[in-house]
Amino acid sequence: MISLKLTRLIEQHSSELTDELVKKLHSSPRTRGLQRVAAPELRNRIQEMLSQFQAWLITKENRNSVQERYRRLGRQHASQLVSLPDLCWAVVVIKEELWDFAGQHAFHAAPMDLQAELELTRFVNVFFDGMICYLAEGYEQFRSEMVEPQLHASEAATRMVAIPRTQMP
């Protein structure tokens, strides 16, 4: 099975792949906001993501647990002031690096495995496209939770400062 082959490849080279991804994410102009995340923390997040991706490829684990994981991560990045576009580009960079990595390590299917390769492509796209959406949902949830108290505070301040026209000189 081609997904199992990819999971083994990732497992065998996870440290190398993670180091390369940390370098790319910290140096890419499209992911500048991730420079706010310390390299060891980013490394841990990437390793966790690769592990979750491997598990998902093998088990096609429940979508709800994947959703909650990446919504939580989206909230975490929002709290670190990483912009949403930087976060989305980070997922694109990770996905592209994963395909490049697989190509560099002679991950090619036999011509008759074309159907399996197409299915793997679909699985990879579903996982990473979903990741972008769940990260964005978590990110926006964090922002709305932060903005709502500020709106209530500014409304209260406005009411306290407002002077009725009849009392104005």
Owning domain of residue 42: 2-167
What is the structure's pLDDT at 109?
A: 57
169 residues of the chain, pLDDT tens digit each: 667 788 888 888 899 999 999 999 999 999 999 998 999 999 999 999 998 888 888 887 667 778 999 999 999 999 999 999 999 999 999 999 988 888 787 666 566 567 777 888 888 899 999 999 999 999 999 999 887 666 555 555 555 555 555 554 4
pLDDT attached to residue 79: 93
For the entire predicted model, the pTM comes to: 0.80
pLDDT at 154: 56
Our count of domains for the chain comes to 1
pLDDT for position 45 = 93
Domain CATH code at residue 152? 1.10.490.70
Calculate ∠ Cα 143-141-133, nearest 5°: 115
Tokens of 37: 């995340």
Which residues, in sequence order, are CB contacts of 36 under 8 Å at separation 6+? Answer: 80, 81, 82
How many whole angstroms from its chain centre is CA 4? 23
* pLDDT reported for residue 120: 81
What is residue 169's predicted lDDT score, i.e. its pLDDT?
47
Q: Which amino acid is at 42?
A: L
Taking alpha carbons only, the member of 4, 45, 51 closest to residue 25 is 45
Report pLDDT for 95.
Answer: 94
DSSP secondary structure, 64-75, as one string: HHHHHHHHHHHH
